[in-house]
Chains A and B, each alone.
Chain A
Amino acid sequence: MNQKTVVDKIGESDLDKRIKKWMKSGEGKKAIEKALVESTGILNFLEKERQLDPRSLDEPITL
């Protein structure tokens, strides 16, 4: 989507107003806090899955 299409479609100032209203109403704050909880969940999951199996350190690769 290029700049011209964006301005034609909704206009920058319109979105600007919507974001400010959204944050002011508290709805935005809730949505962002929810997004942060989601991202923390994903990061914790990835961190757990990234843990190396200590057995893989010492076993020779023989085939």
Chain B
Amino acid sequence: MSQSPCDSNGDETASFEVFPYDIDRLKDLLCRKSLATPILINRKSHINYFKNYFEALVAKTIVVENEYVDRDYLDDFAGYYVRCFKEYRRLCSRLHFFDQRIDNAQFDEMLRNGGNSEIIDKLKNAYLGFVVVKPLPQTVIGRTCLKTYADDGGRRHFPITRDYSCNLFGLDLSVDTLAFQEQDNVVAACATSALWSIFQGTGRQFQHSIPSPVEITRTAASNILSESRAIPSQGLTSHQLAHAIREVGLEPLKENARNPLIFKTTLYSYLRGGIPIFLGLDLWDISEDGHVLFGKHGVAITGYSLGEDEPSSINGVFLKALRIDKIYVHDDQIGPFARMVFDDVKIKNPEISGDNSEMSSLSTSWLGKSGREGSVRAVPDFIIMPLYHKIRIPFSAVLQRIISFDRILNSLSALTEGIAPLQWDIFLTTVSDLKSDILTSQHVPGEDYRKKLLLTRMSRFIWRAIADHDGDPVIEVVFDATDIRQGAIMICAIEYDMVVSGAIRTLMEIPDFEAIISNQLCWTIFDWFKGRPMPV
């Protein structure tokens, strides 16, 4: 092990340092590369989080890249810190993590021998990501790009990760993740940090420029009347969040998140489509007998876990999204992909009487007055989806049609098995993804039918509602996400099971049936089948 001195004389030994990973080493580096004291670093919630996270990733080595220019910090520096009387540093340090043991001599050999060195492949394969350390007194964790947790047999899903590449003294490294950073309490509060992470995802997906934290805070506060100054930031309101989203060319869609049924189904439908979500929540300290409101907080939802429990339903309508048992969030006070669990604990709001005083909550990694993990609970308040302007049809409009359609199909279960109960998987996606699925699907009945589906013209953004029975797809309804709400919305059905297809066609031949449902939301779905031949 080599421990080069951390000076900035510009000599070779100060450009990088290599250490075996352990949490004490990480704490020491966070302290030495910033202006924070050891006491302050020890108090940070991130430390406990990083300890567990790097254990899960099996980190073994830290390579320190000193004198690193970070674009986001540089913007914040130019926007605020440079004008302080006290001289703050412009340059950061970057800590790179690897799951293989390497030492200073090996790293030095790589730099000397270049492409002839065996260590290059070893380092590339072992890369876990990086943490930028900002030269500030308290909020030192800058842009952080770390590998996600493993998918654990398909249970964990992180649909909005993207490739982040970095170059470490000529060594090309990359990690599939979504960037995170801690709020600095000056140019950014929690909501700004969450939005910054969200824009990392939407910027790639919808091709917009990604503003730095200081730009987000300034934009959010512009044109919105406020009694207080924008910077140092006192936090953002949901109006200001919406304004910041519009400024990057996206449209905000806000939904209530207090009811877990609505929260789970909505977040799943957009997140699975690659849309990161802002979650506004209330934190409650339950350390003592009475539950005390801690404050309002904002995080970016970046993933979810689907539990193995029996499928849950909304009054008999089974939805895959209701199997969500955990969400993963970029919580700037905790860390990236921090877990929040739906564990059915209710919070009692002392200011409200009656049944409404009990609110569903999720676990968090925050520490309350007692200092005990689990002593702070999160009560979701609202979610905001930043959408491309052409995504006009909301999930709620699709769900309404599917509920109505499902209930009628369910009524046929008295006549035959195989039609109900159905479990619906509803999510936003693109025509490219749908057609890629059709091309390789084992469930499409017939070659001509597959070709016909592949040649069907569809809008760029679509909603898919796939119904399965006992794990096999039965029918899928494809909706045009770019249509107007009074339009038909539906593009086509994809028919997997001819029992259901035949039953729908039979119903549509009966005048009484048409008379009953022709003014219902599901009418356009049934009407699509009328006179249309069965797939061959």
Residues of A within 8 A of B (CB): 1-3, 6-7, 9-10, 12, 15-16, 18-20, 22-23, 28-29, 31-36, 38-39, 41-43, 45-46, 49-53, 56-63
Contact = CB atoms under 8 A, between A and B. Distances in A.
Contacts of A12: 498-499, 502
Given A32-B513, A36-B407, A36-B516, A58 B445 contact: no
Nearest to A36: B520
Contacts of A19: 412, 415, 503, 506-507, 510
7 contacts: A22-B414, A31-B411, A36-B408, A42-B407, A49-B256, A58-B237, A61-B189
A51 B256 contact: yes
Contacts of B191: 61
A53 B498 CA distance: 45
B239 interface: yes
A15 B418 CA distance: 12
B45 to A, nearest CB: 12
Contacts of B234: 60, 62
Nearest to B237: A60
Given A49-B261, A52-B382, A57-B237, 14 more contacts: A3-B498, A6-B497, A6-B499, A15-B506, A19-B412, A20-B506, A20-B510, A23-B507, A29-B512, A34-B411, A35-B411, A50-B255, A63-B295, A63-B296
B381 interface: yes
Interface in B245-278: 254-256, 258-259, 261-262
B517 interface: yes
Interface in B360-377: none
Given A33-B516, A49-B259, A56 B381 contact: yes
B238 interface: yes
Nearest to B283: A63
B407 A56 contact: no
Contacts of A1: 418, 469-470, 472, 474, 497, 499
B415 A59 contact: no
A38 B237 contact: no
B410 interface: yes
Interface residues of B, number: 66
Nearest to A19: B506
Given A36-B407, A61-B296, A62-B296, A49 B418 contact: no
A46 B316 CA distance: 14
Q: Which 4 A-B pairs have the closest CB atoms?
A: A62-B235, A60-B235, A35-B407, A49-B259
Interface string B307-341: 00000001111000000000000000100000000
Q: Which of B295, B406, B415, B517 has the most CB of A within 10 A?
A: B415
Interface in B366-401: 381-382, 396, 399-400
B314 A42 contact: yes
Contacts of B258: 49, 53
Given A29-B516, A50-B262, A56 B506 contact: no
B525 to A, nearest CB: 13
B298 interface: yes
B497 to A, nearest CB: 5
A46 B189 contact: no
B238 A57 contact: yes
A20 to B, nearest CB: 7
Contacts of A18: 415-416
Contacts of A60: 234-237, 296
B404 interface: yes
Interface in B67-123: none
A33 to B, nearest CB: 6
Interface in B219-236: 234-236
B106 to A, nearest CB: 43
Contacts of A3: 445, 497-498
B235 A61 contact: yes
A15 B517 contact: no
Contacts of B134: none
Nearest to B191: A61
B363 to A, nearest CB: 17
Contacts of B472: 1-2
B403 A35 contact: no
A62 B407 contact: no
Contacts of A15: 415-416, 499, 502-503, 506
A41 B261 CA distance: 15
B235 to A, nearest CB: 4
B313 to A, nearest CB: 10
A57 B298 CA distance: 13
Contacts of A32: 408, 411, 513, 516-517
Nearest to B516: A32
A36 B404 CA distance: 7
Contacts of B521: 43
B133 interface: no
B393 to A, nearest CB: 15
B173 interface: no
